[in-house]
C-alpha cells in the first residue's frame, strides 16, 4: 500500500527556500517524500538557494513575493520547467523586533507587504495555477504561534501580519475547496536556529526562557521537528483538512 505521505510524481514549489531556514527544511522533506522540488527565494539569496538545490535536487527560481509580476513569472516558470504543480509551500517572511513607537510606517508596511500581501499573492497565483490544471493540490502557509495572540517581545508589525496570514489561509481555503485544493498553515513556536531567529543566540537567557515556556521544555529543532507536520499538510495524508492553523510549538499555545 502506498504511504499517504508519498509524493512520488508530484511537483512541489517552496518559496523562501534559501538554506538555513524552515523553507530549506520543507524542500528537504518534500524531496525525501518523492516530490520534484522547485526552490525559490530573493535574488540576493542566490548562493543559499543553490545550497538548498544541491541537497534536494531542486530547480532554482528567483522571486520577490511583494511583486505580483515576479510571483506570476515564478509560477509560469515552474509549470514550464516541470509540466505540472501539486504543492506550494510559502515560507517567505521577515521579522521586525521593535517597540510600536519606534516602528516607522515604512517598516510596518514592509513587514505587512512581505508576510501578509506576499502570502496572498503567492496564494492567488497558486489557486489560479492549480485550478487551471484541475487535479487539486495543497497550499501550505507559515504563520506563527502568535497567529491569535501576541508574545512578550515587541513585534507589532510581525504579529499583525501573521494574524492576517491565518485568515488569508482560511479565505483561500473556502474559495478553493470545491476544486480539491486544500490551504492550511503551520504555526511554529520558536525554531532555533534559522536566519530569522539567529539573533536570539546573543540573548541566551531569553532563548532558555522560550524553551522553558513550552510543555516539551525545549526550542523547536529545524532539522528534526518541522518535516513531519509540513509533510502532513503537503501530502494526501491531510486530504480532509483545510483552512486550519496547525500549531508546531512544543505545546506553547496549549497552556
Ligand atoms: N524560525 C522560527 O522560529 C519561526 C517561528 C514562527 C514562524 N516562522 C515563520 O516561518 C517562515 C520561515 O522563517 P525562518 O525562520 O525559516 O526564517 P528565514 O529568514 O530563514 O526564512 C525566510 C525566507 O524568506 C525569504 N524572503 C524574505 N523576503 C522575501 C521576499 N520579499 N520574497 C521572497 N522571499 C523572501 C528570505 O530570503 C528567507 O530565505 C517565516 O514566515 C516565519 O515568520 C518561523
Query: Helix H segments across the chain?
Result: 22-32, 46-56, 68-82, 105-111, 118-133, 156-176, 204-212, 227-234
**Domain-wise residue ranges, the chain:** 11-188+226-247
Active site residue 240: no
For residue 112, name the pLDDT band (cuts at 50, 70, 90): very high
Nearest-atom index, ligand 1, CA of 143: 7
For residue 124, name the pLDDT band (cuts at 50, 70, 90): very high
Confirm if 60 and 53 have CB atoms less than 8 A apart.
yes
CA distance 103 to 236: 42
Query: Which of these is catalytic: 158, 159, 192, 247?
Result: 158
Predicted confidence (pLDDT) per residue in 186-240, tens digit: 999 999 999 999 999 999 999 999 999 999 999 999 999 999 999 999 999 999 9
Decide: 65 in ligand 1 pocket, CB within 6 A: yes
> What kind of fold does domain 11-188+226-247 have according to CATH?
Rossmann fold (3.40.50)
pLDDT value at residue 1? 80
Amino acid at each position: 500500500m502506498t504511504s499517504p505521505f508519498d509524493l512520488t510524481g508530484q511537483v512541489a514549489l517552496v518559496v523562501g527556500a534559501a538554506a538555513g531556514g524552515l523553507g530549506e527544511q520543507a524542500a528537504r522533506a518534500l524531496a525525501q517524500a518523492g516530490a520534484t522540488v522547485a526552490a525559490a527565494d530573493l535574488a540576493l539569496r542566490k548562493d543559499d538557494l543553490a545550497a538548498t538545490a544541491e541537497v534536494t535536487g531542486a530547480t532554482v527560481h528567483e522571486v520577490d513575493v511583494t511583486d505580483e509580476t515576479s510571483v506570476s513569472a515564478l509560477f509560469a516558470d515552474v509549470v514550464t520547467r516541470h509540466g505540472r504543480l501539486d504543492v506550494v509551500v510559502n515560507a517567505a517572511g521577515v521579522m521586525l523586533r521593535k517597540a510600536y513607537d519606534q516602528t516607522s510606517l515604512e517598516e510596518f508596511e514592509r513587514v505587512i507587504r512581505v508576510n501578509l500581501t506576499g502570502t496572498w499573492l503567492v496564494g492567488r497565483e497558486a489557486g489560479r495555477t492549480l485550478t487551471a490544471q484541475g487535479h487539486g493540490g495543497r497550499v501550505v502557509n507559515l504563520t506563527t504561534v502568535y497567529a491569535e495572540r501576541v508574545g512578550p517581545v515587541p513585534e507589532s508589525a510581525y504579529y499583525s501580519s501573521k494574524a492576517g496570514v491565518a485568515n488569508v489561509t482560511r479565505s483561500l481555503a473556502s474559495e478553493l475547496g470545491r476544486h480539491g485544493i486544500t490551504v492550511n498553515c503551520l504555526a511554529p513556536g520558536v525554531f532555533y536556529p534559522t536566519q530569522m531567529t539567529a539573533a536570539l543566540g546573543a540573548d541566551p537567557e531569553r532563548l532558555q526562557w522560550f524553551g522553558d515556556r513550552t510543555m516539551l521544555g525545549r526550542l523547536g529543532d529545524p532539522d528534526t521537528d518541522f518535516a513531519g507536520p509540513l509533510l502532513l499538510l503537503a501530502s494526501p495524508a491531510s486530504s480532509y483538512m483545510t483552512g486550519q492553523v496547525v500549531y508546531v510549538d512544543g505545546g506553547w499555545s496549549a497552556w
